[in-house]
Amino acid sequence: MNPLLQNFETAPFSNIKNEHFKPAIVKAIEDARTEIEEIAASKEDPTFENTIEALEFSGKQLDLITSIFFNLNSSETNDEIQKIAQEVSPILSDFRNDIILNNALFKKVKAVYDQKEVLDLNLEQQMLLDKKYKAFSRNGANLSEDKKQQLREIDKELSSLSLKFGENVLAETNRYTLHITDESNLAGLPKDVIEEAAEVATAKDKTGWIFTLEYPSYIPFMKYASNRELRKELALAFGAKGFHGDELDNQENVLKTAKLRFKRANLLGYPTHAAFVLEERMAESPEKVETFLNDLLQKAKPAAEREFNEMDDFARELDEIDRLKKWDASYYSEKLKQKLFDLDDEKLKPYFKLENVIDGVFTIANKLYDLNFEEVFDVDVYHPDVKTYRVTDENNREISLFYADFHPRPGKRDGAWMTSFRPQYVEKDRNLRPHISIVCNFSKPTKNTPSLLTFNEVTTLFHEFGHALHGMMADTIYPSLSGTSVYWDFVELPSQVLENWCYEPEALEIFAKHYETGEVIPVELIQKIKKVANFQEGMATLRQISLGMLDMSWHGIDPTSVKDVKAHEEKAFESTKLFPEVPENCVSTSFSHIFQGGYSAGYYSYKWAEVLDADTFEYFQEEGIFSKEIAQKFKDNILSRGGTEHPMELYKRFRGKEPQPNALLKRAGLIKK
C-alpha cells in the first residue's frame, strides 16, 4: 500500500520509501486529470462555483505529494530522489500545460471572467478569478496549436534544467574539502570552529581538520583564518561551483535557461522574460526595477567606495597587503570591525545558543501575536534533526504545525528557506491549518559546545521565522491565495521586518543569555550591535544591487547572442565592481536563487522589500516594538491576508500611506536622519 495515496493528517515520512513517489505522483495526476475533465466537460453554464472554485480545489492530493517530494529533494536528497525528480518533473510540466492549454476549460474560465463586473464577488473571489484567468492567458491559452506545443517543450526543458542546475551546485558543495593537518594553518580560527572541523575530519576517517563549502564551515574560515593562501584556496573553490568545465559545469545550463525563458516570453507576446514576470509584481516593469536599482546605486556607491578604501588602507597598514582581493574581504572587514567597535562574533556567540534563540523568537511571536509554541514528539519527521511544534493562539485554538530543520548535512542544499507541507484554506466550513517548515544550515553542536549562532545566523533565523509567521497566520478561503502566495516583491516584507527585533534591547534581553552563566547580554554589547548595524552598509547594499543587476542582465534582455557566461557577468558587474575580477570564479553558475529558485527577474525584491520593512518597523518604533495595536494591524492586513488583494492596497490599509524609501536610506546610514 502506498502511504502517499492514503489520507494523512501529517506527512507520513517514516512509511515513505523512494519507490513510492513516482507511482503516487502518476496516480495523483490521473485523479486530478479526471477532476479537470469533469469541470471542462460539464453541461452546466460556467459559474464561479462550478468552474473557478472547482478548479482551485482540484488536485489537492497531487499538491500534497509533490510538496513532500520536492521539499525532500531540497533538504534530504540522494541520488535516487534526484533521479526521480528528473523523471517526474517533465510529467508534472506536461500535466500543468494540459490544464493551461485545455481549450474547453479556458472557454469556461473566460466565460466567468467576462462576467466579472456583474458577478457579486468579494475581494478574495475577485482576486481568485483574476489569478485563474491570468494563469491561462499569461501561459499560452490564446496561442495557436503549434505554438502551444513549442511552449510545452520549453516548459519541460526548463523544469529539467532547473533540477540539473541545483543538483550540480549541491554535488560541487559536497565534493570539495580543505584538509588541514598542520595545526599552524588554523591560526586565527575560534576554538569551536576548530573543534567542529576536527569532528568533520573524524567523521570522514581522517586526521586533522576538514573545512567544507557549507556555510557554517566556509564563512568562519573566511572571516578568521590568518593564512591568506588557504583563504584564497577555499574562496576559489566556493566561487567556482558549476564553473569547472566538467560534468558538474552549469554554464550551458545558465545559457539554455536564459534563452529558453526569453523564447517563452516572446511566444507569449512579451519582449523579455523580465517583462513577463514583472507584469505580476509590485514593480510592474523592467524599467521600474532598473530605475529603482540605479537610484539605490547612486546613493550606495559613494559610501561603498569610502568603506572599501578604508578597509584597503587598513589591510595595507596591518599586513602590508598590496591590493585587497575577494578572499580578504571577510577577514579584514572583521578585523576592522573589531578595531572600530571592539566587537566580533566570538564575543557574541556565547549569548546566542540556538535553543535560546528559538525560545526568543517564540516569545516575541507570543508578545506580538499571542501565539504559543509547544514542542511535540508524536509528529513524523524526515530526519532526526527536525523538531516539530504545535502552534496555538490565546484561546488554545490550533494555528499551525511547525517543522524546524537547523543543521547542514550532505543531502541538504545550502542556505535557508521557508516552505510548507500543507497550506491553509477553508474546505466545507473547516479551516484547515497549515503545516509550515523552515530549513537552515547552522553550526551543529559538538561534544563540548552547544550550537552557538553568529549574529548573522540569528538574523537569518528571525528572517525565515518571519516567512513562517506569514504562512502560519494565513486566514483565507483559497489555498492559492494563502500565506506566502503573494507578489514576489512583497513576500520578503514579513521576513525582513522581523529581523529588526534582533537589534532592539527589549527583544535581545528576552533570549540573548550566556549559555554557561545565564547572564543576559550586557548593555554595552547591545549598544555595539546597534552601532555595528550600519558597518559597511554601503558595500552590503552594493552587493545586493550587483546581484539584482546580474539577474536583470540575464532576464531583461534578448540573451540569444550571449555565448560566454563569464564575460556577460563581468559586463553586468561593471558599475558595482570594487574588488579585482577573479577569472576562476563565476557567480551565475551557482546563483540558485534565479536559476533554481523562483527569483528570476525578481532578485531586486530583497531591496524592494527593505523599503517596505524599514517603513513598517518605523511605525512599530513610533508606538513601541511590542505594540499590540500595530501588531494586530500588521496581522489583519498583511500576515493573514496572503494574496487576496493587491499588496499596495494591503500595505496602505496597514500603514495609512504608501511606503517611504527614506526610512530605508536613513536606517542604512546612506542619508542623514
Burial class, 672, CB count within 10 angstroms (exposed 0-12 / middle 13-18 / buried 19+): exposed
Confirm if 413 and 74 have CB atoms less than 8 A apart: yes
**Residue 574 and residue 373: Cα distance in Å, rounded?**
48
| 417-422/435-439 β-pairing | antiparallel
391 φ, ψ to 5°? Answer: -110, 125
Nearest to 196 by CA among 417, 545, 447, 4: 447
Q: Which residues contact 651 (CB under 8 A, 6 or more apart)?
A: 490, 493, 612, 637, 638, 658, 659
Please report where in the chains the cell 540522494 appears, as a residue.
78
**Residue 637 and residue 49: Cα distance in Å, rounded?**
26
3-state helix, strand, coil in the chain (%, to 5): 60, 5, 35
Confirm if 40 and 104 have CB atoms less than 8 A apart: yes
- Sequence-ordered strand ranges (E) for 488-613: none
Catalytic residue among 167, 172, 307, 464: 464
Q: Which residues contact 356 (CB under 8 A, 6 or more apart)?
A: 511, 512, 513, 515
Nearest to 250 by CA among 156, 164, 155, 158: 164
Confirm if 373 and 559 have CB atoms less than 8 A apart: no
CA atoms within 13 A on the CB side of 434: 32
Give DSSP secondary structure letters for 329-381: HHHHHHHHHHHHHS--HHHHGGG-BHHHHHHHHHHHHHHHH--EEEEESSS--
**Residue 630 and residue 655: Cα distance in Å, rounded?**
9
Query: Residue 422: beta bridge partners?
Result: 435
Active site residue 464: yes
Confirm if 306 and 539 have CB atoms less than 8 A apart: no
Query: Residue 401: beta bridge partners?
Result: 390, 435
- Give the residue numbers annotated as catalytic, written as ranges: 464
